[in-house]
């Protein structure tokens, strides 16, 4: 498979009054062409920070301190801001968690989509080509009556409709990569499936790669081909969804999968003991070792490097040295 995006050793920190939060501690993974990749982990594990770092949308007091994000041969972290704006306009799109917050409340949704087209293709926002593209994408995302839809303001839409608008805005430029940061977490369960179906259908039609960030393993199992498991700013395991669910290697992945409730079974739900570490003073070595049942001496001393244990299956754990 051909690589589209290679993230290597990405480190992002946040300067706070309590100290430096080491949010990403050397994250590495690849996204292939026509990939449908899930990125999973608990709240605060750095999923969103990873996506924002790829887009270079980390704001002060955050800072990307190390690593590379190679997209089609160019390191995005080395581009000028103007060049990066072009990448955001044309090549990588992003969809956010709360669709109604992510849309500007004082602008018509049609205008907001048209703005994406006009920025990407350098056309005037009111031109006919732009308008036609807006209508076309609105039909593609399943919104009826595009002519009246473009006149609406975000507060007139339901959450699901607003997320469809966001998807339209992200895909109208036919990007090479779509990053969806928890696209369904704020939506009704019944709408979640529709939205994910829609994303999957549209990206495969366009040949776009997708990176879906979620904390929901069900979403990954249902829709993704590959998955990256993150824990406390590190990648724990990467692999094919089927492999990971059948034979998880990393103790954290194993714990996560066991913690998913299965309908019809009774008894106490399995949990991972302990809590997510404070990233101002993270545990030394492997950040998971205080919660790990199989921890070795080395685990508290050295950060395990990520290794390929079988083709396409990577794990960062000293147990597999």
Partner 1 sequence: MDEALQIITNIIHDLPGGKEMGLLNFIIKRLLLMILVLFGVLCIVFVIANVIPADPIGALLGGNAPPEVVDQYKHKLGLDKPLAQRFVDYIAGVLRWDLGVSLRTNNPVTEDIRKFFPATLELAIMATLISVSLGIWLGTASAVNRNKGVDHFARIFSILGVSMPVFWTGLLLLLIFYYKLGWLPGPGRLDIFIFPPKTVTGLILIDSIIEGNWTAFWNGLQHLIMPAFVLGYGGTASIARITRASMLDCLRQDYVRTAKAKGLNKRLVIKRHALRNALIPTVTIIGLTFGSLLEGAVLTETVFSWPGLGRYITNGYLVLDYPAIMGGTLYIALIYSIANLIVDILYAFLDPRMRV
174 touches partner 1 by CB under 8 A? no
Quick note: the x/- pattern for partner 1 over 269-308, rule CB under 8 A, is ----------------------------------------
Burial of 173 (0-12, 13-18, 19+ CB in 10 A): buried
- With contacts defined by CB under 8 A, name the span among 96-104, 193-201, 257-265, 288-296 that binds partner 1: 96-104
Does the footprint of partner 1 cover residue 121 (CB under 8 A)? no
Instruction: Specify the residue for token string 């036609």.
Output: 132
Taking the complex as a whole, the smallest distance from the CB of residue 202 to partner 1 amounts, in Å, to 18
89 contributes a contact to partner 1 by CB under 8 A: yes
Strands 62-71 and 74-75, bridge-based pairing? antiparallel
38 DSSP β-pair partners: 212, 227
Q: Would you state the structure tokens that stand for residue 311, as one six-digit string? A: 């083709």
Could you give the dihedral angle defined by the CA atoms of residues 63, 212, 92 and 61, in that order, rounded to the nearest 10 degrees?
A: -10
Q: Which is nearer to partner 1, 75 or 83 (CB)?
A: 83
Q: Please answer whether residues 145 and 159 qualify as being in contact, where contact means their C-beta atoms are separated by less than 8 angstroms.
A: no
Q: Do 207 and 34 contact (CB within 8 A), yes or no? A: yes
Per CB under 8 A, 137 contacts partner 1: no
My answer on whether omega of the bond before 61 falls inside 30° of 0, hence cis, is yes
Q: Shortest distance, CB of residue 57 to partner 1, whole angstroms?
A: 6
Helix, strand, or coil (residue 245): helix
Strand partners, 177: 92, 209
Shortest Å distance, C-beta 92 to partner 1: 9
Q: Which is nearer to partner 1, 93 or 184 (CB)?
A: 93
Which residues inside 47-66 make contact with partner 1, applying CB under 8 A?
55, 57
Among 4, 7, 13, 87, the residue binding partner 1 under the rule CB under 8 A is 87
Report the residue number, 172 or 279, with the smaller CB distance to partner 1. 172
The answer to whether 158 contacts partner 1 (rule: CB under 8 A) is no
**Residue 101 touching partner 1 (CB under 8 A):** yes
Q: What is the DSSP letter of 265?
A: -
CA distance 148 to 134: 12
Piece of the chain touching partner 1 by CB under 8 A; list 7-15, 93-101, 222-230, 286-294: 93-101
Interacting span for partner 1 (CB under 8 A) from 37-45, 113-121, 187-195, 282-290: 113-121
Asked if residue 276 lies in contact with residue 232, where contact means CB atoms within 8 angstroms, the answer is: yes
> 92 and 57 in contact (C-beta within 8 Å)?
no
Interface with partner 1 (CB under 8 A): 55, 57, 81-82, 85-90, 93-94, 96, 98, 101-107, 115-116, 119-120, 153, 155, 166, 169
């Amino acid at each position: 498979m051909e690589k589209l995006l290679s993230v290597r050793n990405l480190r992002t920190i946040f300067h706070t009054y309590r100290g430096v939060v080491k949010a990403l501690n050397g994250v590495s993974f690849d996204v292939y062409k026509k990939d449908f990749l899930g990125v999973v982990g608990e709240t605060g594990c750095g999923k969103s920070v990873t996506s924002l770092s790829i887009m270079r949308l980390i704001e002060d007091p955050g800072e990307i301190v190390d690593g590379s994000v190679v997209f089609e041969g160019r390191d995005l972290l080395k581009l000028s801001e103007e060049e990066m704006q072009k990448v955001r306009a044309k090549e990588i799109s992003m969809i956010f968690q709360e669709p109604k917050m992510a849309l500007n409340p004082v602008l018509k949704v049609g205008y907001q989509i048209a703005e994406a087209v006009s920025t990407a293709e350098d056309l005037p926002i009111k031109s006919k080509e732009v308008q036609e593209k807006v209508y076309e994408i609105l039909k593609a995302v399943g919104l009826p009556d595009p002519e009246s839809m473009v006149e609406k303001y975000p507060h007139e839409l339901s959450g699901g409709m607003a997320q469809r608008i966001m998807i339209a805005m992200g895909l109208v430029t036919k990007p090479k990569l779509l990053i969806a940061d928890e696209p369904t977490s704020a939506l009704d369960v019944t709408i979640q499936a529709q939205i994910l179906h829609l994303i999957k259908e549209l990206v495969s039609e366009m040949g776009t790669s997708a990176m879906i960030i979620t904390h929901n393993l069900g979403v990954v199992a249902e829709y993704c081909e590959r998955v990256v498991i993150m824990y406390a700013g590190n990648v724990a395991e990467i692999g094919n969804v089927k492999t990971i669910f059948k034979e998880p290697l990393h103790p954290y992945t194993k714990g996560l999968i066991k913690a998913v409730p299965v309908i019809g079974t009774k008894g106490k739900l399995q949990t991972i003991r302990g809590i997510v570490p404070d990233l101002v003073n993270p545990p030394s070595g492997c950040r998971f070792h205080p919660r790990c049942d199989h921890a070795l001496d080395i685990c508290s001393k050295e950060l395990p490097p990520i290794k390929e244990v079988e083709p396409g299956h990577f794990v960062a754990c000293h147990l597999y040295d």
